[in-house]
Chain A
Amino acid sequence: MKNSFDEKILEEANDWLNANQKVVLATVIQTWGSSPRQVGSRMIVNETGDFSGSVSGGCVESAVVRECISLIKDNKPSKKIEFKVSNESAWEVGLACGGEIAVYLEQIN
């Protein structure tokens, strides 16, 4: 059975919106191989780059923050991004663990 352990990210997103911040919700929608966070893991990002929650073990969060900020700037509703195994030249946006993940970004407004 699926457990009900929940990280209360949606509740935090609501608090941010009530404080008039722009919020992008990032959700892990697919994983392949060994990935640190399971499908459904979430992170929120505001227009200044503050973030809460996680979609990996710290491997791709910085890239997700950048993507979320540009989504707000470009005023786009949503976007899907994939992260693959890292290599030395692109260590910052890869998963050191060797897995792959797809993350869905959506603005809440």
Chain B
Amino acid sequence: MKHSQLKEIIKKKASKIEFAIVTNLENGLSEIYEPGKSLSKEFEIHKEQIDNFYKLKKNGVIENTEIFIETYIRPIKVIIVGAVHIAQYLVDFAKSLNFEISIIDPRGYFASEQRFPDMKIINKWPDEAFKEIETNENSALIALTHDPKIDDPALQHALNKKFYYIGALGSKKTHENRCQRLKEAGFKNEQINSIHGPIGIKLGGRSAPEIALSIIAQLVSETYKK
């Protein structure tokens, strides 16, 4: 592989473009594949199989050939509501797992750049903030403020957009009240029950990094279920 090609791959990854790398294992030639774009002759004859691997988001060698395909998919978007202490640790875990994080917090003193260097922080109320983030069923929400004024609109947005993971921090009692409010807002039990609350797997820890670990463990586990 040429260094220039490696740079192009890294650039595509950074701009969240989905693509695949096809490599001829016999002669070492490789190319970047994107749907709709044509490949050179030696790869074009395997176009159908390459398309199949790409659609299934699979890595591997095409049967009876020496062509290897590796697909790259967009990182999962995780929206954290509440730029609190736990969020600072979540950001660290999420980075090494390649989640794409956005933090929403209307309270400027929490959402400071000094507390979250190099992070995308939206210093607005959730209803306004979500206008800036494209979300869908491949998105996840972690609500950490346990303040209904801030968490509830975010939870409602996530439920409406069918996020695959929705978690909300707070005690059992807090969560019961939250569920009641969502019910009154017209959400169905099935939707409300899909919220992970109290958030996180049972780890036993109570410190901010331990809670962050229990949340991220649940998020990864749910990512594999979808």
Interface of A is mostly: mixed
Whether A29 and B68, one on each chain, are in contact in the complex, defined by CB atoms closer than 8 angstroms, is: yes
Assuming A30-B60, A30-B61, what are 16 further A-B pairs, CB within 8 angstroms? A2-B58, A2-B71, A3-B76, A3-B224, A5-B98, A6-B98, A13-B6, A14-B3, A14-B10, A29-B68, A39-B59, A39-B60, A104-B25, A106-B1, A108-B1, A109-B3
How many residues on the B side are at the interface (Cβ–Cβ under 8 A)? Answer: 31
CB within 8 Å of A: which residues of B? 1-3, 6-7, 9-10, 13, 23, 25, 28, 30, 57-61, 68, 70-76, 97-98, 220, 223-224, 226
**A27 to B30 alpha-carbon distance, docked (Å):** 13
Q: Which residues of A contact B70 (CB under 8 A)?
A: 27, 40
A-B contact count (CB 8 A): 67
Does A56 reach chain B (CB closer than 8 Å)? no
A1 at the interface (CB under 8 A from B): yes
Which B-chain residue is minimally distant from A31 (CB atoms)?
A: B60
Contact indicator B25/A29 (Cβ below 8 Å): yes
Report the bound CA distance from A40 to B61 in whole Å: 11
Whether, in the assembled complex, A66 has its beta carbon less than 8 Å from a beta carbon of chain B, the answer is no
